[in-house]
Each structure stands twice: as structure tokens, then as C-alpha cells.
Amino acid sequence: MGKTLYKTWQEADHLAMLQGWAHDGLTDEQIAHNIGIRRTTLYDWKKRYPDIADALKHGKEVSDYESKTTLLQT
């Protein structure tokens, strides 16, 4: 299962979950824990699989934008 686990996380519903976790501010270590892999494995996935990297990046960008907007409104 371990060698094909990344394929499961490339499915649309799982990519949305990754994006949501990144949006919620989870660290790579926390996301890796949620998946059941090591942080270094998540880094490898981000390098090898652009869809996984993009989901995490987009979730983080949205979270960062919302944080900045909130700070500017106060």
C-alpha cells in the first residue's frame, strides 16, 4: 500500500482535502501525519507530483491572503 498511497492522494477529493488542510494552516508535518506518512515523504511527493504540490500551495496562498486581509481590516 505504501508505494501506491500517493496515487490515492492525487484523486480530486483527496487533493481538496490537502488544500483544505493547508488553508486551515496545518504544517507539512501535520499534513503528513494526517496522511500517515513521514514529512520527508510529503516533501518527495511535492517534488514529484505537481498536483499535490499545487493543492498545498493554493491552500496556503488562500490562507495567507485571508490572514493579510484580516490584519489590514483591523
Residue 11 has pLDDT above 70, yes or no: yes
The tens digit of pLDDT for each residue in 45-73 reads: 999 999 999 999 999 886 555 555 666 67
- 63 burial type by CB count under 10 A (0-12 exposed, 13-18 middle, 19+ buried): middle
Average pLDDT, the chain: 88
- 45 burial type by CB count under 10 A (0-12 exposed, 13-18 middle, 19+ buried): buried
Q: Which residue has the cell 496515487?
A: 7
Q: How far is CA 14 from the centre of its chain?
A: 10
pTM of the model: 0.79
